[in-house]
Amino acid sequence: MTPITFWFDPISPYAHLAFERLPQALEGCSYVVDYRPVLFAGLLQRWGQLGPAEIGPKRDWTYRQVLWLAHRHGIELQMPAVHPFNPLPLLRLLVACGQGGLANRHQCEAVLRHVWTGGAVVDEPRRLAELEARLQPARDPRSDTVKQELRANTDAAIARGVFGVPTLELPGHGPEAAAPSRLFWGFDALDMVADGLRGAEGFEQRWSAAVAVGDGVQRVR
């Protein structure tokens, strides 16, 4: 089975959409998924980007698009009462549920649906306490060890070139043992992931050709 790393932050509606559609999109493929929570804000800071919700017109478009995408794909999604929110308690809860910075699919589903179904306030203390009681993490989400594992996840994602969530990471392709891994960003990349797993005709040639484009004009910042 091909290992896939699913880098995500529950603050992203696209992470929820990708998580829900993943089994359908990759039906018939042989794979196993590691779910790794990361702090999206850390990725934005590293690459010098603003989040979609930090740009007024893009914020409006994002919310309209994700509601449309959810309807089109039959995925339950309601916007939370307030967005964005501080995702750290949820990220640390996920890390505390597992070991080595990982969470399982059931735990990820509970957290993502806590955010993206029901239209409630995500970080309301009572709701967070109920979610923690339901998941029964093996470790204290507020412990230094858990906090460090989340930071390590985020640092590892950045080291691999992850710049947004969700990102699906597949092993490198080719005879070289150290072939670089392949990163697929966003909900709309799931079909592309499936083609990569299935070895669709011409996929590898197009993948390699894309990075052969020379750098052009650089915008002064």
Q: How much is the pLDDT for 173?
A: 73
Estimate the crossing angle of helix 105-116 against helix 125-135, to 10 degrees: 160
In a domain, 92, yes or no: yes
Does residue 39 sit in helix, strand or coil?
Answer: coil
Q: How many domains does the chain have?
A: 1
* 33 touches 6 (CB < 8 A): yes
CA–CA–CA angle 75, 102, 26 (5° rounding): 40
The domain of 63 spans 2-210
Q: How confident is the model at residue 190 (pLDDT cuts 50, 70, 90)?
A: very high
Estimate the crossing angle of helix 88-97 against helix 125-135, to 10 degrees: 10
Q: How much is the pLDDT for 77?
A: 98
Map tokens 């230094």 to a residue: 144
- Residue 102 structure tokens: 């990982």
CATH number at residue 61: 3.40.30.10
Q: How much is the pLDDT for 82?
A: 97
In a domain, 89, yes or no: yes
Identity of residue 200: A
In a domain, 221, yes or no: no
C-alpha span between 63 and 83 (Å, rounded): 10
How much is the pTM? 0.95
In a domain, 215, yes or no: no
Q: Residue 156 pLDDT more than 90?
A: yes
In a domain, 220, yes or no: no
CA–CA–CA angle 212, 181, 10 (5° rounding): 110
Least confident range from 64-73, 109-118, 164-173: namely 164-173
Q: Residue 39 pLDDT more than 90?
A: yes
In a domain, 218, yes or no: no
In a domain, 124, yes or no: yes
Q: Residue 10 pLDDT more than 90?
A: yes
C-alpha span between 123 and 106 (Å, rounded): 20
In a domain, 216, yes or no: no
